[in-house]
Amino acid sequence: GSNNHYSVERWGRYHGSNNHYSVERWGRYHGSNNHYSVERWGRYHGSNNHYSVERWGRYHCSNNHYSVERWGRYHCSNNHYSVERWGRYHCSNNHYSVERWGRYHCSNNHYSVERYSLNNQV
């Protein structure tokens, strides 16, 4: 059971602070407890966070204010990662091995690691 449905091929292409997604490509639901209308995805990301599209790259988590450069290092409000560790630890409550990162992105989401690696290069 998952609340989030992504196209695996599209996921790898559009994921990151500098990426503006078309809603079809990103997916309709991101975050196990968050339900967005596709139109609102670019503007609202995070159950308590309301961003303008321009601010998305700068403010990603409700308690964290990042510059675009820092996005890769600090992603979740409770987790401080080095760039190398980003792939291993993505969510504040989830600890993944690198191999599992592609399969498990959020608590309810399952990805194919093979497909993630392929499309992440795009």
For 61-77, how does the pLDDT look when each residue is reduced to its tens digit (9 = 90+)?
333 333 333 444 444 33
Neighbours of 12 (CB within 10 A): 19
Q: Is the dihedral of CA 96, 61, 43, 67 positive or negative?
A: negative
Residues 1-15 have a mean pLDDT of: 41
pLDDT in the model for residue 48: 33
Instruction: List the structure tokens of 98.
Output: 């690198």
Position 99 confidence tier, pLDDT thresholds 50, 70, 90: very low
DSSP assignment letter at 94 = B
Average pLDDT, the chain: 39
Which residue type does 43 have?
A: R
pLDDT in the model for residue 24: 37
pLDDT in the model for residue 74: 44
pLDDT in the model for residue 68: 34
pLDDT in the model for residue 70: 43
Position 118 confidence tier, pLDDT thresholds 50, 70, 90: very low
34-58 per-position pLDDT tens digit: 333 333 444 444 433 333 333 444 4
Residues 98-122 have a mean pLDDT of: 38
Q: What are the residue boundaries of the structural domains of the chain, listed by start?
A: 1-122
